[in-house]
Amino acid sequence: MKFFIDTANLAQIKEAQDLGVLDGVTTNPSLMAKEGITGAENVKNHYLKICEIVDGDVSAEVIATDLEGMKKEGDALAALHPQIVVKIPMIKDGVKALKYFSDKGIKTNCTLVFSAGQALLAAKAGASYVSPFIGRLDDISTDGLALIEQIRIIYDNYGFATEILAASVRHTMHVIECAEIGADVMTGPLSSIEGLLKHPLTDSGLATFLADHAKAAQ
């Protein structure tokens, strides 16, 4: 299972990278705005800074919602750095754009996916990644994990190469449940990754080992 971090915060990306388990980064216009990154040049430079920190795929989202605009923006983003994956929304022109980039050999991440039908379309159009937003489904009392299960079955039935990128992950249990279901990738905040480290018995066990060692050394 690949671990992506879902942020545009450089310090957090570096912290996850330093842990040695990071496979990539996802961003979106809201996450870029949260870091105060505005203006085309600043946005491009920020993507380059992220690519310098991580070794893997970095999703950069288009703002255009028409086919020609998405093609133009996506081509420019892809030309920035070989690690850039063009993030395209699940709308009609977005499906056409996925096919356009797939035909050119440019990697894509189809975002804002909330149904199995949308995920099937994205795979048919040749998306490299499909991003079902599980946290946002949970927010409206719908089972986000059930959607991942459904997509897993559909993709396995037909051998689609599109990777299931569980997005809108909110906490560590989401990560574990996605791993059980067989999501190829998860993207979440740093806390969802670091939460995997934690167990009270590890902390108390280590404290005991160190205390016993100190006593024996006296």
Q: Which residues bind ligand E4P (CB under 6 A)?
A: 6, 26, 28, 111, 131, 133, 135-136, 167-168, 187
Q: Which of 2, 14, 87, 124 is catalytic?
A: 87
Residue closer to ligand E4P (CB basis): 78 or 185: 185
CB 7 within 8 A of CB 190: yes
C-alpha span between 169 and 185 (Å, rounded): 11
Q: Which is nearer to ligand E4P, 49 or 204 (CB)?
A: 49
What percentage of the chain's residues is helix, strand, coil (to nearest 5)?
55, 20, 25
Give the distance, in angstroms, between the CA of residue 94 and the centroid of all CA atoms in the same chain. Answer: 18
> In the bound complex, what is the minimum distance in angstroms from residue 191's beta carbon to ligand E4P?
12
Minimal distance, residue 30 CB to ligand E4P, in Å: 6
| Residue 44 to residue 5: CA distance in whole angstroms | 19
Task: Determine whether 25 is exposed, middle or buried from the number of CB atoms within 10 Å of its CB (0-12, 13-18, 19+).
Answer: buried
Instruction: State the Cα–Cα distance between residues 116 and 100, nearest whole angstrom.
Output: 22
Could you tell me the smallest distance in angstroms from the CB atom of residue 214 to ligand E4P? 44
Closest to ligand E4P by CB, 6 or 93:
6
Residue position matching structure tokens 């998405």: 70
Q: Are 53 and 23 in contact (CB under 8 A)?
A: no
- 92 catalytic? Reply is no
Q: How far is the CB of 4 from ligand E4P (least distance, A)?
A: 8
Which of residues 1 and 210 has its CB atom nearest to ligand E4P in the complex? Answer: 1
What is the C-alpha separation between 113 and 179, in angstroms, rounded? 19
Would you name the residues annotated as active-site residues? 87
